[in-house]
Structure 1
Amino acid sequence: MYKRILVATDGSKLSQQAVEHALSLADLTGAEVVALKVIPRYPQTYFEGGVALAAAEVARIEKQWHDEGMAAVNAVKSAGQLLEVKVKPMTVKSDLIAEAIIAAAKRSKCELIVMASHGRKGIKRLLLGSETQQVLTHSHIPVLVLR
């Protein structure tokens, strides 16, 4: 059925549900899992919401974000080993999270994207946006959303 499943994670409790479902589905179908964490770049200007920092400090912050991202995807790999599911950990640096998820799924030749949704509504959804909604809208690859 599926040969490769991408699971988007940020290491949160909510995304852990998506990880568990993706690993279970991969175990049932014999698929490989691509664990993805999209890492944003540090905002460089006041208009992007950033605070002016020295280049070395920005590099330190971005390295910390990368290390935390690697820890999140390596945790998926460890969980996969318990189920004997092959997991490829991957991080991508991008400010466009939904686009990065779709691009990574295409690049990795995934047949399914698994991700969680906070289920925000109303003004919260308008203000905070919905990466899951963007993936659902723009992906030609099937998407399994968990809440």
Structure 2
Amino acid sequence: MYKRILIATDGSPLSDKAVESGLALAALSGASVVALKVVPRYPRSYFEGSAPLHRDEIKQVEQRWSDAAMQELSVIKQMGTSEGVSVKCVVAKSELIAESIIAAATKNNCDLIVMASHGRKGIKRVLLGSETQHVLTHSQTPVLVLR
């Protein structure tokens, strides 16, 4: 059925449900999993909303964000191990979340993307757009959306 499943997470409660369902599907189909979390880069200019920080401080901030993401992904890896599923953890640094998800699925030869229907709520979702919708409309890889 499936050989490699990409599970995208943003750490939200709904995303956690998608992670559980994706791991269960992987266990049933004998697939391996690529667990992905996309973290933003620190804004570089005043016009992007940046606070004036030195380059070294920016690297430290971004490293903390990456480390926190990797900690979240290691929990998914442990969950997968307990279900007999091999999990590869990937942290992508980008403001382009949907594009990063699609690129990671392509790069890792995934034959399914599993993600939550949304992570943000209310006006933020409307203003920022739906990353899930973007993945659905632009991905060549099939997408399983959970709510």
Match for residue 101 of structure 1? Answer: 101
| Residues 118 and 112 of structure 1: CA distance in aligned 2, closer, same or farther (over 3 Å) | same
The aligned counterpart of 1:75 is: 75
Q: Which runs of 5+ in 1 are unaligned?
A: none
Deviations 1:65-100 (A, max 9, x none): 000110111111000011011111111111211111
d(CA) in 1 for partners of 2:38 and 2:131? 11
For residue 14 of structure 1, what is the aligned residue in structure 2? 14
Q: Provide the TM-score with structure 2 as the length reference.
A: 0.93
1:128 maps to what in 2? 128
Deviation at 1:112, TM superposition (A): 0.4
Secondary structure, in 3 states, of the residue corresponding to 1:125? helix
Identity %: 62
- Distance across 2 between alignment mates of 1:135 and 1:50: 28
Question: How far apart, CA to CA, are the structure 1 residues paired with 2:64 and 2:89?
Answer: 17
TM-score, normalization by structure 1? 0.93
Residue correspondence of structure 1 range 1-147 to structure 2 within 5 A: 1-118=1-118, 124-147=124-147
Runs of 5+ in structure 2 lacking a partner? none
- SS of the aligned residue for 2:17 comes to helix
